[in-house]
A and B are shown apart, each in its own frame.
Chain A
């Protein structure tokens, strides 16, 4: 893993460039639009800084590309060859994901049926604990982008990576937001 400072540099660079592209097209935005643009550009910059190597970053880009209103923004933010490559990769991945989802749901169906038939319903402490863990894993999967399609091991790995990047993102954003210079500029 790279050091956090280089990570932050890369993120900031990509973020600023994305924002530039955003603002160059649309000058007058409401505050919510602006917020959305900032958030999206920050997320995409984060994902682009990861260079599509992890599934969460691919999922971030895929999510941005899927929603129509965000897609324009995303394309604007992710300009250049690498973004095209990323988007292509992502579109491939989403197809794969769709297939996998179907398969998995079938599997789950099968398994659940078997359980109901073979095992009598007994409530053990271990089963309760398992259910608790499962519930939390489910929540975590919904939190990490693209987490629904990961198995547990990769989910934890991705969570590790995602947390590292989120931290960097938060640090950079806070630095800029709390910069006294910016405050002074805007108060003028």
Chain B
């Protein structure tokens, strides 16, 4: 965006309107690719305005009218918030300004805003005035006083213009890479190489829905090989993820070896599933995975896997003998209820069953909890808020893990528990 500014100046200074049009077009194309720089631009433009409003600056500006160095200085200073583009600026300024007589250029810049401001922010409407204004360079001296204001005006107008253009331009987003390349080419014609790189980088960051490919020296640049390169990059990126996932795969380099490892891993997992299902079939003679068994199993599992809970309880001040019975006490109730829920679920749709499983067990175990442990715990003075929270958390965790048939109940139950407490 900042680069668009000098171009704006340039186009206002430009002698022929036809070339100005192309510049504006280019500028519009560029704006498409770097709305993110807008922030820097607007921030900078504020400073711009401030700079131009400053009396000291204005004085020097007026005094040295036509002094290229001062204007360049002012402009560059105003750009400073965007550090990456600093290099590009002087060149651009030189480009824009050395072509013409400096005085003339500045006077034109100063004189155009009144004509520019009234018409709607259309690019075409704005470009035509300067040519006409060349003649009005005679009244330059009288304009000196207002120059600062007017310059500021131009900036504001340009700002508004660019905003409007942006909104217009945003609608036609989603263009192909080729347009970007052409716009880059244009840039290269206008600006130095590093600024164009900056530009492409910015556009890359801003538009993540396409991939920017840069061909290195000696690499092919036709669309097929570019696409192929993108594809290969994607594949290798995913392979990296796979490498992380598959154990023992991170030492292997080369795609074939990695694929080998992946194949082995998948096969081993599939075989494990086969084996385990066989084992389960052999172990369960009637294939009755009744829920009670499973929940009992799960409880055991849970006790094996999460000893943190049983260690967490004593910190609250309860003996572990007390906690375990409490658990066992409320578990049967939970199982019965869950069974009911699942049975209902078999009769009705699965969804209904689920909902019932969610809704029913929340109430019953709490009575157990109340009677068994909480009543004993509540009088104790050690129950500050933190400990309660800890308890709740752990309880919640334990239950949601030990009763996987109702994974959605966790939050509801926790809230209920909290209310109970």
Contact = CB atoms under 8 A, between A and B. Distances in A.
A136 B256 CA distance: 7
B231 A153 contact: yes
A111 B334 CA distance: 63
Contacts of A32: 281
B242 A170 contact: no
A8 B404 contact: yes
Contact of B266 (A27, A43, A166): A166
Contact of A23 (B279, B289, B297): B289
Interface residues on A, range: 35 or more
A162 B351 contact: no
B19 to A, nearest CB: 46
B119 interface: no
Interface residues on B, range: 35 or more
A93 interface: no
Given A132-B256, A167-B269, A170-B273, A181 B407 contact: no
B269 A166 contact: yes
A163 B349 contact: no
B399 to A, nearest CB: 12
Given A16-B289, A177-B280, A181-B300, A21 B269 contact: no
Contacts of A97: none
Contact of B276 (A140, A144, A157, A173): A173
A166 B405 contact: no
Contact of B401 (A5, A163, A177): A5
Contact of B405 (A13, A29, A153, A181): A13
A150 B219 CA distance: 29
A16 B291 contact: yes
A182 B283 contact: yes
A176 B273 contact: no
Contacts of B400: 9
Interface in B263-314: 263, 265-267, 269-270, 272-274, 276-289, 291, 293-294, 296-297, 300-301
A156 interface: yes
Interface string A29-47: 1011011011100110000
Interface stretch (B9-17, B127-135, B157-165, B232-240): B232-240
Nearest to B242: A160
A156 B349 contact: no
Interface stretch (A67-75, A76-84, A100-108, A119-127): A76-84
A179 interface: yes
Interface in B297-348: 297, 300-301, 342, 345-346
B297 A136 contact: no
Contacts of A91: none
A62 interface: no
A63 B277 CA distance: 19
Given A17-B342, A160-B238, A186 B285 contact: yes
Contacts of B266: 140, 143-144, 159, 162-163, 166
A156 B239 contact: yes
B350 interface: yes
B359 to A, nearest CB: 16
Interface in B218-249: 231, 234-235, 238-239, 241-242, 245-246
Contacts of B238: 153, 156-157, 160
A180 B300 contact: yes
A36 B265 CA distance: 22
Nearest to B350: A80
A112 interface: no
A106 to B, nearest CB: 21
A99 interface: no
A20 B256 contact: no
B343 to A, nearest CB: 9
Interface of B: 231, 234-235, 238-239, 241-242, 245-246, 255-256, 259-260, 262-263, 265-267, 269-270, 272-274, 276-289, 291, 293-294, 296-297, 300-301, 342, 345-346, 349-351, 353, 400-401, 404-407
Report, nearest first, the 7 A-B pairs whose CB atoms are least far apart: A136-B259, A80-B350, A34-B281, A35-B281, A9-B404, A173-B276, A39-B277
